[in-house]
Amino acid sequence: MKKIAVYTSGGDAPGMNAAIRAVVRTAHAKNVEIIGILNGYVGMIENKMITLAPRDMANIVQRGGTILKTGRSAEFMKPEYRAIAAENLKKAGIEGLVCIGGDGSFRGAQALLSEHKIPVIGIAGTIDNDVFGTDDTIGFDTAVNTALDAIDKIRDTADSHDRIFIVEVMGRNSGFIASAVGLAGGAEEILTAENVVAVDKIVDKLRESRTKGKSSSILITAEGQKPGRAYDLAEAIRKKSNLDAKVCILGHQQRGGSPTAHDRILASRLGSEAVAALLSGKANLMIGTLGNKIVEVPLDQVTQNEKRGDTTLIQLARILSV
């Protein structure tokens, strides 16, 4: 291959820039020209492409977001628009793609490969960590640390006023952020899609904590299908018990900020391995990590399976927060 392209797609995640940098500079080291596609599949359809040189990557390793911008494209779900995108790629002489995104973006990449034979390697960039086949995704560690920083601050005021706080973190279908943040932040209960707890039980636990001399409590909830779930929970607790729980919804700040060292290292390794895999003739794979080792996982496996959260961290958080 003489020319490849990289794009970021779906939800943005801190560390995507470190991944782009690794892709560009690894390609340069292997004498391969590299193009950046702007706004994910939107830019692929609209032919928004830029040449990326190693020096263009200066000073981005520490920046959140993505210099290539990201996007969601309803049009790309249709074969006729994928044909336009494929035509644009072929006209630009692009022989392979590195896709940085979540499993939705990988589905798009698979469609492009099966319909237009454009080789693609995926690397998982999403704060949710909900991608099958890899322990870790770019941005997850940063999002957890951002949420944790906020929770540590909330703990100060919760403690000063003897208050109960319900903190809502991101994670629509996945409770990975909630579980990690809950354990690290000393939460008494963590509510996720995998761990649904009846309000009665939560109330019993809060009352028991008070009889044991605990004056403040933190509950963590994943946002679930609609943000604002924490308000419903606070209301339900109030109705059952007269206990007053304050609500804090952390929201999109969890998507931004400078990536942690962990995410920069992960992004650098995955980005570099993705280029190596593409240039050695591989395709239709995601590069991920299992037990800190780099693994190649067929995209079919990634997109056809769901990564289930495990409740071990939640159980441990319960034991440790007495």
Question: Active site residue: 12, 56, 103, 128, which one?
Answer: 128
CA 140 – CA 69 distance, rounded (Å): 19
Nearest alpha-carbon partner for 103 in 65, 72, 130: 130
Among 111, 147, 248, 275, binds ligand ADP (CB under 6 A): 111
Q: How far is the CB of 174 from ligand ADP (least distance, A)?
A: 11
- The reply on whether position 77 binds ligand ADP by CB under 6 A is yes
Query: Which of 132/231 has CB closer to ligand ADP?
Result: 132
Query: Which of 36/71 has CB closer to ligand ADP?
Result: 71
- The reply on whether position 88 binds ligand ADP by CB under 6 A is no
CB 250 within 8 A of CB 148: no
CA 160 – CA 294 distance, rounded (Å): 46
Q: How far is the CB of 80 from ligand ADP (least distance, A)?
A: 12
- The reply on whether position 107 binds ligand ADP by CB under 6 A is yes
Is 128 part of the annotated catalytic residue set? yes
**How many residues sit in the footprint of ligand ADP (CB under 6 A)?**
17
Reported as type and span, the H/E element at residue 240 is helix 229-241
Q: How far is the CB of 260 from ligand ADP (least distance, A)?
A: 20
- The reply on whether position 227 binds ligand ADP by CB under 6 A is no
The interface mask with ligand ADP, positions 113-132, x = CB under 6 A, is -------------x------
Among 4, 6, 8, 10, binds ligand ADP (CB under 6 A): 10
Which class for 146: exposed (0-12), middle (13-18), buried (19 or more C-beta within 10 A)?
buried
DSSP percent split of the chain into helix, strand, coil, nearest 5: 45, 20, 35
Contacts of 272 (CB under 8 A, 6+ apart): 22, 23, 26
Query: Which of 107/282 has CB closer to ligand ADP?
Result: 107
**Residue 225 corresponds to which tokens in the numbers above?**
């299908």
What single letter denotes the amino acid at residue 274? A
Q: Is the dihedral of CA 267, 116, 91, 48 positive or negative?
A: negative
- The reply on whether position 105 binds ligand ADP by CB under 6 A is yes
Number of neighbouring beta carbons within 10 Å of residue 252: 9
CB 24 within 8 A of CB 5: no
Tell me which stretch binds ligand ADP (CB under 6 A): 6-14, 146-154, 185-193, 220-228: 6-14
Nearest alpha-carbon partner for 181 in 193, 167, 195, 194: 167
- The reply on whether position 134 binds ligand ADP by CB under 6 A is no
Query: Which of 141/189 has CB closer to ligand ADP?
Result: 141
Tell me which stretch binds ligand ADP (CB under 6 A): 30-38, 104-112, 140-148, 169-177: 104-112
Chain contacts with ligand ADP (rule: CB under 6 A): 9-11, 41, 72-73, 76-77, 101-105, 107-108, 111, 126
Which residue numbers are catalytic?
128
